[in-house]
Structures are given as C-alpha cells and as structure tokens.
Amino acid sequence: MRALILSDIHGNLEALNAVLAAAGSWDALWNLGDVVGYGASPNEVVCKIRSLAQLNVRGNHDRVCCGLASAVGFNPVARAAAMWTHDEMTEENRDWLGQVPQGPVSPEGLPGIVLAHGSPLNEDQYILTMRDAWGPLQQSGTEITFIGHTHLQGGFCQHNEEWRDFRPGYKSCNEFESWTLSLAEETRYLINPGSVGQPRDHDWRAAFAIYDSEAKTVTFNRVPYDLTSAQGRILMAQLPEKLALRLREGR
C-alpha cells in the first residue's frame, strides 16, 4: 500500500497541485492538518482535500479558521490570515473543517501507524528536538507516527537505547528531488512529511512524503511550484505581504 502523506498545505493551491502532479500513483491520501491559513486559496484547497483524502486530522489553523477556537494566541500576521480565511471560506467548507477529527487517528488495517498534527500526545505540541520527541516516542505505543505542525521535513527514531534524528539530504534547490528512508525493525519513528504550502527549512519547494507498507520505506520529496502565482494570490487578497515574501525564503 502506498500512502501519499500531506501536511500544512495552508491554502497554497499552486503547491498542492504541484505535489499531486509529482506524487505518481498512490492508494490513499493522509492529511495531517492545517489545510488552510496563510495562503489565499482556502476554498479550492479544502475542496481538493475533501475529495481526495481518506484520512484527515485537524490542525490548529483549521480549528481557528473554522471558528472552533479563538485566534488570540496567534501572532498578528497569522491572526489576520485566519480571520480573512474564516470569512472567505464557504459555509460548507467551514462546516467540513469543523468536523475533521482531532488526532491521533489510525488507518484501518495498519495498527502500527498513527496520524497526528503536532504530537499524538498533544495536537498543538511542536516536536523540534529530541527532547520534544522523547515523550511521544516512549508513550505512543506505535511503530510509526506521522506528524506535521513544525513545517520541517524529517523526524526522529528510537531503537532500544539508540536515539537519533534524520533529515532528507537533497542536492538541488529548484528541481524535483526524492530521498528514501528505509524503516528498520523494532524501531519507533516520528516522521514529518514537511509542509506542502509553507516550508520553514529554507527550502521553498513543496514538501510531501510517500509511505510504502510493502517496501517498508518512507520517501521524502520536494517539488518546485508556481511560486509567483501563489504570491500574487496573497497580495491580491490584501493579506499581509510577509506571507508572500516568506514563501520564496522557505521560512
């Protein structure tokens, strides 16, 4: 079984379209949350994910943009984008986002896998360091947990007393590129596919991952997309200019 794993699309239609075109064939699409927020195409992105995803977990921006939570904890730029997104979305799309479950959720027939947004222990937790990863790896009880939220592609793993982190090793900055992780036996993983719509690892390309249950691999991918159009949509919507500029910077 091949699962296409997406996270943190953040209303970036151009990046999502590039990912779907580059992903090839897949059996299921798993969405790890934050479909909206920041980007200027919330309705188009929600409609695509609604039609394609077999499993969804909500993100913190999804929660705020559909009205389930307040934007008080957001910085001014994120708050402005969330309020615009709430008003821009159709009632049908807001209602759908409001019904997306909180993680963790498990794919049917794959008991060793869990999907979450921030962490299987707390949907809003940022797992940035090994210190952050220690609790979820110890307490999740599953072999593989796919997470998003940080917008950083890579992850953490634990085998007996050995702990390590990993990041894809890419050689270019403007082309489609892949990096494959072979999953070891008796090892627990926290794996982040990266952000489709707003990467923060200084690589502007859209990020995604493919999990292959038969090959026991996770293939990380980066794909260029029509950045100028995505930036133009943000500016035309009169969203904060910073949201357009940071797309080029990948941060």
pLDDT of residue 161: 86
Return d(Cα 207, Cα 215) in angstroms, integer.
21
Nearest to 12 by CA among 71, 81, 99, 69: 81
pLDDT tens digits, one per residue of 144-161: 999 999 999 999 999 988
Which CATH topology does 2-249 take? Purple Acid Phosphatase; chain A, domain 2 (3.60.21)
For residues 159-182, average pLDDT:
94
Could you tell me which residues are beta bridge partners of residue 177?
Answer: 222
Helix axes 241-249 and 227-236, enclosed angle (nearest 10)? 170
Could you tell me the end-to-end alpha-carbon distance of the chain, in angstroms, rounded to an integer? Answer: 33
Are 31 and 237 in contact by the 8 Å Cβ rule? The answer is no
pLDDT tens digits, one per residue of 110-145: 989 999 999 999 999 999 999 999 999 988 778 999
Nearest to 220 by CA among 27, 60, 7: 7
Return d(Cα 212, Cα 38) in angstroms, integer.
31
Extents of the domains making up the chain: 2-249
Return d(Cα 159, Cα 128) in angstroms, integer.
19
Please state the pTM of the whole predicted model.
0.96
Return d(Cα 230, Cα 234) in angstroms, integer.
7
